[in-house]
């Protein structure tokens, strides 16, 4: 799947976001190795610590469905700033994806392409210490 297609799907996913506090809706589209796409959106809560980001919603939905091999993620938001994944989302992605995992982030004039390794160069990976 082309990055632009994944961005479009993420843009559709943000329509389901529950963001009454920030009014910053975010959608994510997680591409699995078998071509399945899982959607995520941010779900805010009055107790802000219980809010869940779109990226983690997509990952958790995929894992709950038995998927653990991912090939890319796209993220889109209803406004600025561009929706680069937060630290928690980056660390959750590290659990399943390597440093070359592509991350596409919607921006006003197209999208940015980066990798998980560029976003989180010194991630905590317990598995690496047990090799």
Q: How far apart are CA 47 and CA 2, in angstroms?
A: 37
22-54 tens-digit pLDDT:
999 999 999 999 999 999 999 999 998 899 999
Known binding residues for Zn(2+) are 53, 86, 89
Share of the chain above pLDDT 90, in %: 88
Evaluate if residue 131 carries a pLDDT over 60: no
> Residue 80 phi/psi, 5° resolution?
-95, 155
Q: Full-prediction pTM beyond 0.75? A: yes
- 44 among known catalytic residues: no
Known binding residues are 53, 86, 89
> Residue 74 phi/psi, 5° resolution?
-125, 145
pLDDT of residue 129: 56
3-state secondary structure of 121: coil
CATH superfamily of 3-129: Cytidine Deaminase, domain 2 (3.40.140.10)
**Residues 8, 15, 44, 55: which is the catalytic one?**
55
> Which position has the token pair 């010194």?
122
Q: How far apart are CA 120 and CA 45, in angstroms?
A: 26
103, β-bridge pairs: 73, 114
């Amino acid at each position: 799947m082309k990055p632009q297609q994944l961005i479009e799907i993420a843009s559709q996913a943000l329509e389901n976001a529950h963001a009454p506090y920030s009014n910053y809706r975010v959608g994510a589209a997680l591409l699995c190795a078998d071509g399945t796409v899982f959607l995520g959106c941010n779900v805010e809560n009055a107790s802000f610590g219980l809010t869940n980001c779109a990226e983690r919603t997509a990952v958790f939905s995929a894992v709950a469905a038995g998927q653990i091999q991912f090939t890319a993620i796209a993220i889109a938001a209803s406004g600025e700033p561009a929706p680069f994944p937060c630290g928690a989302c980056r660390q959750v992605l590290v659990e399943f994806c390597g440093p070359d995992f592509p991350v596409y982030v919607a921006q006003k004039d197209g999208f940015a392409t980066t990798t998980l390794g560029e976003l989180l160069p010194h991630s905590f990976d317990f598995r690496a210490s047990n090799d």
